[in-house]
Amino acid sequence: MADHPALKLLAELLAVPAPSGWENGLAAVVQRTLDEMEYGYEVDTAGNVLVRLDGREPTAPRCIFASHMDEIGFVVTRIEPDGRLCVDRSGGLLPWKLGESPVQILGDQETITGVLSMGSTHGADQGEKAITWRDVWVLTGLSPAQLQARGVRVGSAGVPVAAGRGPYVFGDAADPLVAAWTFDDRAGVMTLLRLLARLKEEGLRPYHPTIIAFVTSEELGGHGAKHLARQEQPAVFVAVDGAPIPAGVPLQIDGRPAIWSKDRLATYDQQLLQQFCQAALAAGTELQTAVYDGAASDASLLAYAGLAPRIACVGHVRENSHGYEVARLSVFDNLLKTLLQFMKAWAGL
């Protein structure tokens, strides 16, 4: 499975830390991959990486397909005299999803390694309790002066170390599962890069003038996508992300991708939803539909802000969202086939 194109590209993307505000390293990987595919691109003032595709109908309304480059993480809030770091979340990360584990802190001059810590259980008062960010810290082994020399400061960001991020393939070899910390949203970035490769290989162009966008800061409010939408004023914005499985949402990890119908901010365009479902069937797969009361995407963030009149969100189905996520390996190929078929066939607005 190591030669599977999705896994090879995912492994490269997962190795690069990219918490919100620190997406430059991942953007560089995206740009290098685009160079290898001989695509022109631009980087806007928000740090978004954009590929413009000419449409078969140049006067048709503009569409954007976007995946966000940033990941959930944590930030340093205080440096104690002994060099331990007090931290809080960046995006939707909860400390119990990490557990006590090695992490890396992105200093301005140097990246250091530490251990996210929760203290001893050898005490009379150490029963079961809900762990919050107030209960954890990062041990660094460095003094405040040494941390300062490495550029570790209040506001520095942290993520799990690269060595344990995955991807890992397991289960039935004929239809395996794949796990990583986290797919959100490197799996979308990987899928859009694979989509661009297929479009070039097959000499295909979408009907509409289209921007393939790799955007910043989705986890902190969709700032990159909002900047892009203000500049480009798309008629349609499609987020290529994932589909979590909270309690009560009847999604299955069975190789079928999913499309969002409603989330906590917006109802998605139902005509687009139906057209994506038709494209999936034509591509030999099927889309599951999902309704969320505690999630949002770049697409719904734009709709809520009045920046995109028609929206969709499609992606892989994943268990353990905002943690060590698990998906069916086949879902990545099925999502790619669906997007490719949609671009071939859709002449919608």
pLDDT at 130: 80
Q: What is the signed CA dihedral for 243, 254, 15, 109, rounded to 10 degrees?
A: 20
Look at residues 271, 277, 304, 302 and name the one whose alpha carbon lies nearest to residue 289. Answer: 277
Q: pLDDT digits over 134-156, tens only?
A: 999 999 999 999 999 999 999 99
Contact 232, 266 (CB under 8 A): no
Contact 106, 158 (CB under 8 A): yes
pLDDT at 41: 98
pLDDT at 52: 98
Structure tokens at 99: 């557990």
Count of H helices and E strands in the chain? 9, 17
- Strand, coil or helix: 269: coil
Rounded CA separation 37/149 (Å): 40
All residue ranges of the chain with pLDDT < 70 are: 1-2, 123-127, 349
Burial of 194 by CB count in 10 Å (0-12 exposed, 13-18 middle, 19+ buried)?
Answer: buried
Structure tokens at 25: 């390293």
Contact 137, 87 (CB under 8 A): yes
Q: What angle (nearest 5°) sits at the alpha carbon of residue 332, between those of residues 57 and 343?
A: 10
Bridge partners of 78, per DSSP, are 86
pLDDT at 53: 97
pLDDT at 196: 98
pLDDT at 121: 78
pLDDT at 101: 94
User: Domains, the chain, ranges and CATH?
Assistant: 5-71+182-345 (3.40.630.10), 73-164 (2.40.30.40)
pLDDT at 122: 72
φ and ψ of 37, to 5 deg: -85, 0
